[in-house]
Chains A and B, each alone.
Chain A
Amino acid sequence: MTPTPTNATEMANETVDSLAVLESRGSVAETYGIPLAVLAELTHRCPLQCPYCSNPLELDRANTELTTDEWKKVLSELAEIGVLQIHFSGGEPTARKDLAELVQHATDVGLYSNLITSAVLLTKDKLRALADAGLCHIQISFQGNEPMVADRVAGMKDAHAKKIEVAHWARELDLPLTVNAVMHRQNLHQLADIIQMAVDLDADRLEVANVQYYGWALKNRAALMPTLQQIEETSRIVEDAEVRLKGILAIDYVVPDYYALRPKKCMGGWGRQFFNISPTGKILPCHAAETITGLDFESVRGNHSIAWIWQNSDAFNRYRGTGWMPEPCQSCDFKEIDFGGCRCQAFALTGDAGNTDPACTLSPLHERIFKLAETEAAGDVNRFIYRNFKGGTPEDQADRSA
């Protein structure tokens, strides 16, 4: 094509098509083989104690984490095999003293870097060092729109105020900001205010993510499960905000599984377009995959390359495609659309990761799960079990001054 367009209308249409989305949520990236973006969980250490943490119940200890040199080697290898973006996550990635060095290395090997952080350990100097090292984007988690709710959920005094401060620094440094808000029964009433907070913080994006129930969240499900009425109200608020804030704030909305009719296309399908790397170097199909027992995950510390693990390891191939599916998935018209939903959820709720995700109305367990959600949402369990290395601490025994 030459840039000698015939008329403006045609060109305007073409321009829209000139930016095909290679990867967002639910994309065509699987046709390209190696994922475009990889999540690096640098550590499980975190000063927050959120009861819905996506990390496994058995957290990796600091002395088992990959070293700086090991992570650098991993980053080089990822760039070499065609990964384009790296998300530095955790735990709390800024708990690693070598974070700026790792961001610099990602920049040096041509990776686009994103920091997924609670922000509470950052100082202005540390954030500037990360920006100077080439950090491209920052995502900060918020537990509410004000300290009363937010600090209680985080299990940390003054966490909320600190996050607000860091978000302002990020924009001063011209870092694009995503606000991540994990939503549940005890903070959903703040959603409209959280959306306004994201606008006031000059964020580009807001993730409104309903809790997904594996690991710590499963342990705390009774205290977190929203009511159906709350979810209906949430959808209304999000839809209204999407229209009202078009061009100002992009909103990604993750609906809660238990009240869904169809399961989510989890991770875009197992082993299709995503993997993450655990603090000890295990290559995982999703960040919750270690909750599934009976799968053997290969590590970057082993004898295989990352590309080999992605293409050939048993853990990745076990639930790839549609061949593994039982009924009702196998004969279902949606099997190439949702790939049977979430393996971790199937395991958590049925004991077998190879079953249909009970979030699907076609699962024989769906009705029971829906009823369970309604019962728990209406119940009076509101106390959290905080996430920590001790296997969890009930809220009434917790020290929140950390």
Chain B
Amino acid sequence: MSASRSRKLSVTEASRPVLPRHAQLKFDKTRERWVILAPERVLAPDEIAVEVLQLCDGRSVAQMLDQLAAKYAAPRDDIGADVVTMLQDLADKGFLVEAKEPTP
């Protein structure tokens, strides 16, 4: 069935997670915070979730980890498992799906 794919993204370093059309990451100017707009719900991601979600633009999880490790001068392996856990959690909640085509 077509949607089971979007509901069962299994996150690995090769995954290219993106937000589906019904989940929008947006800065809410009135309340001065980032929000995820979803069907019948508005959610408030924390700073880490926002940073990771902003990287979900079609690049691979491996590329995200490289970038985060460099930015925070942290060992890649330390970050890796936790970021994958966070991405998997967001995917399980329906806020991330696999990108249809890899971006160049």
A contact set with B: CB distance below 8 Å: 1-5, 8, 11-12, 14-24, 29, 32, 34, 36-37, 81-82, 84-85, 110, 112, 114, 136-137, 171-172, 174-176, 178, 202, 204-205, 247-248
Contacts and interface: CB of A to CB of B under 8 A. Distances in A.
Given A3-B72, A82-B28, A136-B24, A19 B93 contact: yes
Given A82-B30, A174-B21, A247-B92, A19 B36 contact: yes
A4 B40 contact: no
Given A22-B44, A85-B42, A202-B2, A15 B49 contact: yes
B89 A16 contact: yes
B101 interface: no
B1 A202 contact: yes
Prevailing SS type, chain A contact patch: mixed
Given A136-B21, A176-B22, A34 B72 contact: no
Residue from the set B30, B52, B94, B95 with the largest chain A CB neighbour count within 10 Å: B30
Interface in B1-59: 1-4, 7, 20-22, 24, 26, 28-31, 35-37, 39-49, 51-52
Interface of B: 1-4, 7, 20-22, 24, 26, 28-31, 35-37, 39-49, 51-52, 68, 72, 74, 78-79, 81-83, 85-86, 89-90, 92-95
Nearest to A16: B89
A1 B47 contact: yes
A18 B86 contact: yes
A163 B57 CA distance: 35
B41 A24 contact: yes
Contacts, number: 123
Given A3-B79, A175-B22, 8 more contacts: A19-B49, A19-B95, A23-B42, A82-B31, A136-B22, A137-B22, A202-B4, A247-B92
Contacts of B83: 3
A20 B40 contact: no
Contacts of A171: 2-3
Listed from nearest, the 4 A-B pairs whose CB atoms lie closest are A82-B30, A112-B37, A11-B82, A137-B39
Contact of A205 (B39, B48, B95): B39
Contacts of B30: 32, 34, 81-82
16 contacts: A3-B51, A3-B68, A3-B74, A4-B78, A12-B85, A18-B46, A22-B41, A22-B43, A84-B28, A136-B21, A136-B37, A137-B40, A178-B39, A202-B2, A202-B4, A204-B39
A4 B43 contact: no
A309 B29 CA distance: 21
A5 B31 CA distance: 28
B7 to A, nearest CB: 7
A178 B40 contact: yes
Contacts of B74: 2-4
B22 A23 contact: no
Contacts of A136: 21-22, 24, 37, 39
Contact of A5 (B36, B44, B82): B82
